[in-house]
Amino acid sequence: MPRIELGAIVESFITWLLRAFPGLFDAVSAVLTVLVDALTALLTGPSYLLWIAVFGIVALLVRGVGLAVFTVLAFLLIASLNLWPETMESLAVVLVAAVLATAIGVPLGIWAARRRSASAVLRPVLDFMQTTPVFVYLIPAVFFFGIGVVPGVVATTIFSIPPAVRLTELGIRGVDPEVVEAAHAFGAHPRQILREIQLPMALPSIMAGINQVIMLALSMVVVAGLAGAGGLGSVVVSAVTQLDIAAGFEGGLAVVILAIFLDRVTAALADRPNRGLWRRLVPARKVAGARSPSAV
């Protein structure tokens, strides 16, 4: 069986990209560096007590007293372990990557929900992205952007996109077709139907996708420590290379605490009641159904 040099073809393509668009990757690197540095400075500049209070208030508002108490105690534990700066660096990378992945994934999910052909094209691509080993993402990212936080953000963003696409498509396809028909009957424009009916009704599924985006981003941030992304990833990687059980446990515990906080907050936001035109259409549809002969 002759060997197909698929890897060499991909390598040649990456080399061609570097030669054809040298300024593009420098511009992307500069923008991402500014974003991450600004967010990191914002999170690490004030006293950790201020941010713990803010996180506690957020947890109290979206979930309740139980999560607020857990948040305050858990983040105080992180501060007592002297891992506060690393935790905030990881949080900054997660937030930047999650926003980018959501900004890319949700429009793609809407496109896939509205066009079967788009869904057929995107599905194998998403399968490939979700089954590719996480370490493989670091190779082209390091090749394009070198060592540092930028390849970590890029690899984390690409790795986190599939859940946003899939759950956005699933949520929009799950909207009651009769509600959409009622909107068409009232003369609503397709964009208005999307904005005021389909997206609000699909919001729980979309928020579940964003929740998974954040969880995948957090898991990838630790792996991105191999590329010099810093944060808790560097703590864990350093502990593994030095066989430092204590440092590894503390770094892993900080990751778990951050993951629980982000998961509970985003899950609570997904439970918020939806609002939009569809809430006005549902009662109208019920009244129309009650007046129809079949309802009698």
- pLDDT digits 0-9 by tens, 218-277: 888 777 777 777 788 888 888 888 888 888 898 889 988 988 998 888 888 766 544 444
Write the pLDDT tens digit of every residue in 141-182.
777 877 778 888 888 888 889 989 999 988 888 888 888 888
Q: Which domain holds residue 253?
A: 6-45+82-271
> What CATH number does residue 216 fall under?
1.10.3720.10
Does residue 237 lie in a domain region? yes
Does residue 267 lie in a domain region? yes
Does residue 58 lie in a domain region? no
- Here the tokens at position 30 are 């500069």
Does residue 254 lie in a domain region? yes
Number of domains present in the structure of the chain: 1
pLDDT of residue 296: 34
Q: Which candidate, 215, 201, 202, 205, places its Cα nearest to that of 258?
A: 215
Does residue 187 lie in a domain region? yes
pLDDT of residue 186: 78
Write the pLDDT tens digit of every residue in 49-106.
999 999 999 888 888 888 889 999 999 999 998 899 999 988 998 899 899 999 999 9
Does residue 249 lie in a domain region? yes
pLDDT at 278 over 70: no
The residues, ordered by sequence, that sit 6+ positions from 180 with a Cβ below 8 Å of its Cβ are 193, 197, 198
pLDDT of residue 283: 53
> What is the torsional sign of CA 216, 253, 257, 52?
negative
Distance CA 127, CA 132 (A): 8
Count of C-beta atoms within a 10 Å radius of residue 26:
12
Does residue 281 lie in a domain region? no
Does residue 296 lie in a domain region? no
Output the CA–CA distances (angstroms, integers) from residue 50 to 1, 76, 196, 256, in the order listed.
64, 11, 37, 21
Q: What is the mean pLDDT of residues 277-285?
A: 50
> Is the distance from CB of 233 to CB of 224 less than 8 angstroms?
yes
- Here the tokens at position 276 are 């939009």
pLDDT of residue 53: 92
pLDDT of residue 201: 85
